Amino acid sequence: MNALHAWLTLVGQGFSEWLDAWVRVSRFAMTALIGMLSPATYNKATRLVVQKQIYFTAWQILPGFCVFAALFSYLIIEIVGITARKYGLYEYALELIVRILVLEILPLMTALFVALRTGAAINTEVALMKIQNELDALQRIGIDPMRLELLPRVVGGTISVLALTAVNIVAALWLTHLAIVDFHPWTLTDGDFTRMIGKVLDIPVLLVLWAKTLAFGFAVTVIPISEGLSTPQKLFHAPISVLRGMVRLFFSLMLIEAAALAMVYV
């Protein structure tokens, strides 16, 4: 009986901590959203931090990541194209490519890449700032850390995810045209290509795509920051904070992806 009681207490504590963490993330997300939309947030110092964040998150990795995304896209386009042709379904290849690659894989891949690179870095940095009391130090000299250090990272990170996704989608569409219409002009023409793109990427689908990308961008910065802020002021908690932040971020990205899929297909 005692063992059962202890086990139930442990499970209850775990659930309570899990719930608390999500409440913290939600609260911070709401505060960040209001802060992002408030003109009072922005001044010359905060705009500079936003620029730096965009530089480190998007501009610095742009060439390498775009080459990788283009190669990956081309591989998927060729595989889908060749397989579809083999089974006599070539007319469906283009729609399949746009639906799988442009609407699903590229936005998710970009978000995961930024989450791994920037999200982990932001989580570590905020956790260390919290542990070393840098946030209080800023507050004490009259600088609101939320405005100077945290919100610009959310804004910069979100813009970066949107920009990288847009660039990758444009590159993928161009490669699709190249692979399906230019290199292997079996049945499709320029007109077919344009019509198909217009048919698949209609207004509701585009709205869901950009809403999803926006949510990805918001999540890859908000969750690591929120996790970093809740780190206890002990150095050994830093890796635990990053670990928790990254796991929470991964599940959030998957949840956003599933919700977007449900909106389009269910």
Partner 1 sequence: MTNAKEKSGAKKRVVLLAGDAERRQLIEDHPEAFLVSESLPLRANLSVLENIAVVLQFRTNTYIGEANDTAWKLLTQVGQTGCAEQRDPDLTYEERFVAKLLRAIVLSPPIILIDRPAQLLPDTNYPFFLNRLLLALEGRFEQCWILDYAWNAALYTSRA
Residues of this chain that bind partner 1 (CB under 8 A): 43-46, 48, 125, 128-129, 132-134, 136-138, 140-143, 147-148
Minimum separation from the CB atom of position 144 to partner 1 (A): 8
Report how far Cα 176 is from the mean position of its chain's Cα atoms: 24
Cβ distance 9 to 210 under 8 Å?
A: no
CA pair distance 67, 171, nearest whole angstrom:
9
Minimum separation from the CB atom of position 199 to partner 1 (A): 48
CA pair distance 230, 26, nearest whole angstrom:
13
Minimum separation from the CB atom of position 136 to partner 1 (A): 7
Cβ distance 151 to 46 under 8 Å?
A: yes
- In the bound state with partner 1, the residue whose beta carbon lies nearer, of 4 and 141, is 141
Cβ distance 120 to 246 under 8 Å?
A: yes
- In the bound state with partner 1, the residue whose beta carbon lies nearer, of 5 and 44, is 44
Minimum separation from the CB atom of position 147 to partner 1 (A): 8
- In the bound state with partner 1, the residue whose beta carbon lies nearer, of 78 and 125, is 125
Specify the DSSP element, H or E, that contains 201: none
Is residue 187 helix, strand or coil? coil
CA pair distance 114, 220, nearest whole angstrom:
7
Minimum separation from the CB atom of position 27 to partner 1 (A): 24
Ramachandran bin of 229, using left for φ above 0, alpha for ψ from -120 to 50, beta for the remaining angles: alpha
CA pair distance 149, 31, nearest whole angstrom:
14
Cβ distance 221 to 157 under 8 Å?
A: yes
- In the bound state with partner 1, the residue whose beta carbon lies nearer, of 136 and 182, is 136
Minimum separation from the CB atom of position 213 to partner 1 (A): 28
- In the bound state with partner 1, the residue whose beta carbon lies nearer, of 147 and 244, is 147
- In the bound state with partner 1, the residue whose beta carbon lies nearer, of 97 and 154, is 154
CA pair distance 76, 70, nearest whole angstrom:
10
- In the bound state with partner 1, the residue whose beta carbon lies nearer, of 41 and 252, is 41
Cβ density class 241-266: b for 16+ within 10 Å, e for less: bbebbbebbbebbeebbeebeeeeee
Minimum separation from the CB atom of position 228 to partner 1 (A): 14
